[in-house]
Structure 1
Amino acid sequence: MDGGGRHPLSVFSNGARLAFRRDDLGKEIMGIAVPGALALLADPLASLVDTAFIGHIGPVELAAVGVSIAVFNQVSRIAIFPLVSVTTSFVAEEDATSSDRCKDEISSDKERNVSDCEMDQLIPREDTSTTSAGKSPFQTDSREVERKNIPSVSTALLVGGVLGLVQTVLLVLCAKPILGFMGVKPDSGMLKPALQYLVLRSLGAPAVLLSLAMQGVFRGLKDTKTPLYASVVGDTINIVLDPIFMFVFHYGVGGAAVAHVISQYFIAAILLWKLRLHVELLPPSLKHLQIGRFLKNGFLLLTRVIAATCCVTLSASMAARLGSTQMAAFQICLQIWLASSLLADGLAFAAQAILASAFARKDQSKAIATASRVLQLGMVLGVLLSILIGVGLRIGSTLFTENQDVLNHIYMATPFVALTQPINALAFVFDGVNYGASDFAYAAYSMILVAIVSIVCIVTLTSYGGFIGIWIALSIYMCLRMFAGFWRIGTAQGPWAFLRD
């Protein structure tokens, strides 16, 4: 499949009839996307379980935890997304190039072996002490114990561990002023439970950052099953411990936080144990660490994440200022909105890993085919999620709260949560496409422009429309994100300039 002679916009409709075809590309995409999406859903679902349990304590506690989760998640995103995205791309590139080198070496070895065999026929070997397999009984097959040496792995673990410790210290020391900025006033009933949950939850930040760094490594290796298994085990522990700590030991919202922290350390331990079996965790020397490369591209994505974080955090802050009822409803809708949209991130991971390998090998045909397929699948996924959430949120809202005022606000937000799903799905998939092409600069600068417009919309529309105004503004924000991704490929700029050839 060649992009030559075609209009750049044709990449969106290229092979549309084959979107669900189970060819090699389709199997590769789904093999990465499905486990990756399920692994991503595990943590938001665990947060939804926390939300459901806490919702039965009372609306004030539910609103308080909503603010704390929003703060923790947004602070984590500032570190996680640059780290994971850069790690995935770099590991995929290095793994692809190292695999190509290994193939070349194997081909050279075969040629040498053929020459050796010809010489053996002329000059028989005097040493016959080898086994019938052609090697000493004391020798081991190095391929059986050999682990991959990928410098980005060591760098990602180092950066992840340091960032996790920094996040813990920051949130423990600054929890109260941060909550105040989020609209939780000193005389508010939300302050005590929000402060308790945030401080305890922050103790798990090192495990969260290390886990996500290792997930980035596994994604770059096109293995999303291992992170899925680890997440399922950890979040099952969280779900089991939640009611025990909250209702048996009567720790309340603090019990939910402790259960979540324990589960995160279990996930980190499992991933670290599995990773050491496949990859060298320590670099041969400090000079092999790619700190400079990580910092350069990580800083670009950091500016992007900060811009995106400002939009979501400002929305949560505006909801908190409207009152505990509005904040409780906003928290439930936001968790569902993000959790459902993260399904598209599975496709984004597949796009990033496959495209990074394709660009490293200069395989333009595969790059075009991959981008087309994941965008088409993203659109279909968004439509299905829209239908599912439109029906499910209306029926299942009582699982989170029985407060009628909160339920009424959830019903008001349901159309926005449901109808924006196709837009959200495409926006997330475009992120994966940009990262796979290592187009980090455009991803950063375009998000800054999107955030500026969106922040103005959030402040203005909330002033006039209140709770509904927040959701209108968030819908505009996601539309702008989708358009930014569409523009890059559609105009054949940056790494996609070859589409004009």
Structure 2
Amino acid sequence: MAEKQKLSSSSSGDWRRIPLCTFFKDARQVIKLDSLGVEILSIALPAAMALTADPIASLVDTAFIGRIGPVELAAVGVSIALFNQVSRIAIFPLVSCTTSFVAEEDSTTTGATTPVDESEVLEAGPPSDAETKEFLPQKDLSGESFDMVEEEQQKKRHIPSASSAIFIGGILGLIQAVLLISAAKPLLNFMGVTSDSPMLHPAQRYLTLRSLGAPAVLLSLAMQGVFRGFKDTRTPLYATVAGDVTNIALDPLFMFVFGLGVSGAAIAHVISQYLISVILLWRLMKQVDLIPPSIRHLKFDRFLKNGFLLLMRVIAVTFCVTLAASLAARHGATSMAAFQVCLQIWLAVSLLADGLAVAGQAILAGAFANKDYEKATATASRVLQVLHNVDRNLSD
């Protein structure tokens, strides 16, 4: 009898070990604000607000450009779709890999100290009086200790993936800028904007000017990936809001006061992107030592190995949006203008769920690095359940 009960209890518990059942684990705690729920919410909410800030700013851009005319709105829509397609091919793998790698390295190096070779200490012998004085805190003329400067330097984190991400982001940004500027007309022709189309000239002008901000876009997103790895989504939010407010403020100034039209919208956007990059770099330099000791400390192989798999996924996902934009452009300026408005609204709503994905990625990377598999399982089930509820509510 006891054996039957044991078998029945073991068989009833085996279904919980099925991977699919992990998604439904602790489903009643999906909205519970325990320690894990608070951690997810503190990361996801600012991340979602930062992700939706740029589409909202693009909606404002669309509203301003729509006042010029449907041809200009359609031309800008084609250029934005092309720019985003090229950018996302590099952005998503870079940001995703950066978040995971930084979270892993930050979790494993927190509290780590530099090992001391005992043999060197024994061979050196006891310190002399001069050496003892050298290690004592020395006061300068203002009465401050030099050790405070050394202590401030030691507070900076040594995260090789952060330096690698910024270097890769800068290089990819320059490549993207050169590619889009030099091949703007052929790429627009491929998107359905032919040489006799009235959209060609404003689209080419907007795409060329906006491409100047490609290095800033990839650098800022790489640094956002670093901050996400630190589970700090507030700093990217503040920087993004500052840049988008600047963009919205400069749009009417450049477009209508200076009479630059779509060129003014592109210039305002480029200025806002470089402002975001400067703010993030300034904040990051206070926390991380971005200059590696040597090129060997930059882990490019990890980014290439994992980023390639994500690259294939991003190409497949963004191809649909690019194809839709190309088909809309072939139907004329009015159809493309309507598509641009609907696309920006859809992006602003759909990116709300990405904040949860950012939170899950950062927490999972840290949990796996610390071999806390229980927390990893709980985080995965909680995030997937919340995402399911968000998706169901948006579809309703």
Superposed pair shares fold, TM > 0.5: yes
RMSD, matched Cα: 2.3
SS in 2 for 1:44: helix
Q: Counterpart amino acid of 1:26?
A: G
Distance 1:3 1:217 in 2: 39
User: How much has 1:385 moved relative to structure 2?
Assistant: 3.3
Aligned to 2:107: 96
SS in 2 for 1:140: helix
- Contact 2:180/2:207 (8 A) holds in 1: yes
| 1:341 counterpart = 2:350 | yes
Distance 1:317 1:184, change over 3 A: same
Aligned to 2:243: 234
| 1:151 counterpart = 2:160 | yes
Which TM-score applies when normalising by structure 1? Answer: 0.69
Q: Counterpart amino acid of 1:15?
A: D
Distance 1:252 1:273, change over 3 A: same
Aligned to 1:351: 360
Aligned to 2:315: 306
Counterparts in 2 of 1:153-232, with a 5 A limit?
Answer: 153-232=162-241
User: How much has 1:273 moved relative to structure 2?
Assistant: 0.3
Distance 2:46 2:105 in 1: 22
User: How much has 1:143 moved relative to structure 2?
Assistant: 5.0
- Contact 2:16/2:22 (8 A) holds in 1: no
Aligned to 2:328: 319
Distance 2:345 2:16 in 1: 43
- Contact 1:36/1:346 (8 A) holds in 2: yes
| Percentage identity across paired residues of the two chains | 65
Distance 1:47 1:144, change over 3 A: same
Counterparts in 2 of 1:257-406, with a 5 A limit?
Answer: 257-386=266-395
Aligned residue among 91, 96, 102 for 1:85: 96
User: How much has 1:135 moved relative to structure 2?
Assistant: 7.0
- Contact 1:80/1:209 (8 A) holds in 2: yes
Q: Counterpart amino acid of 2:89?
A: I
Distance 1:43 1:295 in 2: 28
Distance 1:25 1:197, change over 3 A: same
Aligned to 1:140: 147
Counterparts in 2 of 1:114-125, with a 5 A limit?
Answer: none
Distance 2:15 2:391 in 1: 30
Distance 1:333 1:310 in 2: 17
| 1:21 counterpart = 2:32 | yes
Deviates more, 1:150-159 or 1:310-319: 310-319
Distance 1:222 1:15 in 2: 24
Q: Counterpart amino acid of 1:252?
A: G
**Structure 1 residues 448-473: Cα deviation after superposition (integer angstroms, max 9, x where no partner):** xxxxxxxxxxxxxxxxxxxxxxxxxx
Distance 1:379 1:298 in 2: 26
**Structure 1 residues 1-34: Cα deviation after superposition (integer angstroms, max 9, x where no partner):** x999532222222111111111111111111111
Q: Counterpart amino acid of 1:61?
A: E
- Contact 2:255/2:263 (8 A) holds in 1: yes
Distance 1:225 1:64, change over 3 A: same
SS in 2 for 1:189: coil
- Contact 1:29/1:350 (8 A) holds in 2: yes
- Contact 2:189/2:195 (8 A) holds in 1: yes
**Structure 1 residues 97-152: Cα deviation after superposition (integer angstroms, max 9, x where no partner):** 112645x99xxxxxxxxxxxxxxxxxxxx9xx99xxx9776463555442000100
- Contact 2:27/2:385 (8 A) holds in 1: yes
Aligned to 1:39: 50
SS in 2 for 1:57: coil
User: How much has 1:248 moved relative to structure 2?
Assistant: 0.8
Distance 2:25 2:184 in 1: 50
- Contact 1:3/1:368 (8 A) holds in 2: no
Q: Counterpart amino acid of 2:384?
A: L
Aligned to 1:57: 68
Q: Counterpart amino acid of 2:326?
A: S
- Contact 2:98/2:222 (8 A) holds in 1: yes
Distance 1:26 1:309 in 2: 32
Q: Which has the higher contact order (CA 8 A, sep 6+)?
A: 2
Which TM-score applies when normalising by structure 2? Answer: 0.86
| 1:247 counterpart = 2:256 | yes
Distance 2:384 2:65 in 1: 37
Distance 2:41 2:162 in 1: 24
**Structure 1 residues 57-110: Cα deviation after superposition (integer angstroms, max 9, x where no partner):** 1111111111000011111101111111111110011111112645x99xxxxx
Distance 1:164 1:207, change over 3 A: same
Counterparts in 2 of 1:418-457, with a 5 A limit?
Answer: none
User: How much has 1:384 moved relative to structure 2?
Assistant: 3.6
Distance 1:3 1:290 in 2: 41
User: How much has 1:231 moved relative to structure 2?
Assistant: 0.5
- Contact 2:251/2:265 (8 A) holds in 1: yes
Give the unaligned 5+ runs of structure 2.
1-12, 116-128, 140-144
User: How much has 1:380 moved relative to structure 2?
Assistant: 2.3
**Structure 1 residues 405-434: Cα deviation after superposition (integer angstroms, max 9, x where no partner):** xxxxxxxxxxxxxxxxxxxxxxxxxxxxxx
Aligned to 1:12: 23
- Contact 1:3/1:365 (8 A) holds in 2: no
Deviates more, 1:327-336 or 1:225-234: 327-336
Distance 1:5 1:15, change over 3 A: closer
Q: Counterpart amino acid of 1:229?
A: Y
Distance 2:295 2:230 in 1: 23
